[in-house]
Amino acid sequence: MTDKFLKRYSYNITANDFMSAGKSASAIKSNLKSLGIDSNTIRKISIISYETEINIVIHSYGGKLHCDIYENKIVIISEDTGPGITDLDMAMTEGYSTATDSVRELGFGAGMGLPNIKKYSDQLEINTSSTGTTIIATIYL
């Protein structure tokens, strides 16, 4: 088994579009399912891609979600255009949220996004600045 790259699925995510939030994560899930990937792995990837997608919708000015398939791993990459995570350590704490009340009224922003992403990733890399945030979550097969 090598870590040869096989395929990238990419999706554009619009900021504040709560109607479509979650659709890219579902599309990733159905793609992985049609590839015959086992349910445990799909479950982890679904949670990670859903949470990253929602984060882009709530907190960013818009961005992209990629699902990269390698022979031995799946990598979920989210890239957004800002404004960045001010306090990354706090953001990794369960229950800590910077979401506004109006977002919380929609049922989002419980402060579980990044902690869940970390919990289900085998490897996690976060780069953030005022111009944007990149999250790279790897799940080994």
Partner 1 sequence: MNFSIMFDKDKCRGCTNCMKRCPTQAIRLIEGKAFINTAKCIHCGECIKICPYNAYSPESIEWYNQMHDTPKKFKIAIPTTSLYGQFPRGTDICKVQNAILKLGFDFVYDASWAADLVAKAIKLKIDKEKTMRPYISTYCPAAVRLIKYRYPSLMDNLILIREPMEIAGILARERVRKKFGLKDEDIKVFYISPCPAKLLAVTNPIGDYKPSVDWVIPLNKIYGDLYREVIREDNITCSYPSLLGMKWAVAGGQSEHAELNNYIAVHGMENIIEILEEIENGKLSDIDFVEASACVNGCVGGTFNVVNPFIASSSINYISNSLPDECLNPDIDRFDEMYKTGFFNYKLKEEEKFDKLNLKEAVERNEKIREILDKLPGLDCGSCGAPTCLAHAEDVYNNESEFYDCVVLRAKK
Residues that bind partner 1 (CB under 8 A): 4, 6-7, 29, 31, 33-40, 42-43, 46, 69, 71, 141
- Judged by beta carbon, residue 37 or residue 126, the one nearer partner 1 is 37
- Judged by beta carbon, residue 48 or residue 91, the one nearer partner 1 is 48
CB of 31 to partner 1, least distance (A): 8
CB of 29 to partner 1, least distance (A): 8
| Residue 124, C-beta contacts closer than 8 angstroms, at least 6 positions apart | 117, 118, 135, 136, 137, 138
- Tell me the C-alpha to C-alpha distance, in Å, between residue 57 and each of 19, 81, 110, 122, 134: 10, 11, 14, 24, 14
- Judged by beta carbon, residue 34 or residue 130, the one nearer partner 1 is 34
Reduced to 3 states (helix: H, G, I; strand: E, B; else coil), residue 137 is strand
Cβ atoms of 67 and 90 within 8 Å: the answer is no
- Judged by beta carbon, residue 32 or residue 65, the one nearer partner 1 is 32
Handedness of CA 87, 91, 97, 102 (dihedral sign): positive
CB of 30 to partner 1, least distance (A): 11
Specify the residue for token string 């979401």.
99
CB of 47 to partner 1, least distance (A): 9
Q: What is the DSSP string of 54-65?
A: HHHHHHSS-EEE
